[in-house]
Structure 1
């Protein structure tokens, strides 16, 4: 690559810290420029979701802090070859952000890769982009996927459907990023 190709990472406060930093570093390690987009340019408070014995679902702890590079309002999708939508609790409020929805719809419309992990699928469901798609995500988001016409697959750590790659949780990173980089090597 002569000029570094860019990959957009969508998150916000309460984004999953491990998904954010792991993704950013994997892309940079491979020679891409990873740009973190959020509602505004600021320090983002990430979280750590983990699984504890005796709990029916994940627990949340404060995580790392990371700077966003660009506000959603300033994103030009033509500058990026793919988008990664992170999980955590950020998608819970970002799915109501019209600009975030517009961004992912534009990636879909221009037939670019869309990578989603964990709760990130909530942004895709809100954008109307999972209908007739086979995806995976955190198991307790399954209802939203199915209610929006998507086909949830829970037995796989990661799933590819055309230009879409989805993963269940940060524990899915090995399978998820294998698929992500297979996609990026196709372009």
Structure 2
């Protein structure tokens, strides 16, 4: 039986982060399970940077099927969790089941991977205090307000069982660290 990695996202999750992560895990022989508020087709988005804009832009992205609803997730079935960015974390951080899931991954000393705005879920769960973290630069305030140490100069950062990345542009550094972690287990 393949080891499983849980991917947390929802509508408006970052499409490239979702599909790249899913495919990288599957390529390495893991089962990537996409969890969302319900089992349904998710509308992902594309965030990109355009000259002249003060922030990123958003376009409609790919559609992906959620495999499992948050209510049905059993953390002991997974070796790690990946929390994606996009706008999904903005609303998922208010979902008590999501908060419970990520806290259980932490409590059971499993790997917690977060990229871009995914850190918003970890800040809401109270899991960044005293951790060295990176994320999308405009979420820095939330990390620091919750007691985390934001590092903006690195594309990806590891702090124990946590790996965090800034954006989808961080994938090479981020996934290098993610797979170093998975090879340790």
Q: Shorter-normalised TM-score: what interval?
A: over 0.9
Report the Cα distance in structure 2 between the residues aligned to 1:127 and 1:33, rounded to whole angstroms: 25
Per-residue Cα deviation, 1:24-56 (whole angstroms, up to 9, x for no partner):
000000000000000100000000000000111
- CA drift at 1:109: 0.2
Per-residue Cα deviation, 1:45-74 (whole angstroms, up to 9, x for no partner):
000000000111100000000000000000
Q: C-alpha root-mean-square deviation of aligned residues, in Å? A: 0.2
- CA drift at 1:98: 0.2
- CA drift at 1:172: 0.1
- CA drift at 1:97: 0.3
What TM-score, normalized to structure 2? 0.99
Structure 1: stretches of 5+ with no match in the other structure: none
Report the Cα distance in structure 1 between the residues aligned to 2:151 and 2:40, rounded to whole angstroms: 35
Report the Cα distance in structure 2 between the residues aligned to 1:145 and 1:106, rounded to whole angstroms: 20
Report the Cα distance in structure 1 between the residues aligned to 2:128 and 2:52, rounded to whole angstroms: 32
- CA drift at 1:119: 0.1
1:33 aligns with 2:31: yes
Size of the aligned set, in residue pairs, is: 184
Structure 2: stretches of 5+ with no match in the other structure: none
Runs of 4+ with >2 A deviation: none
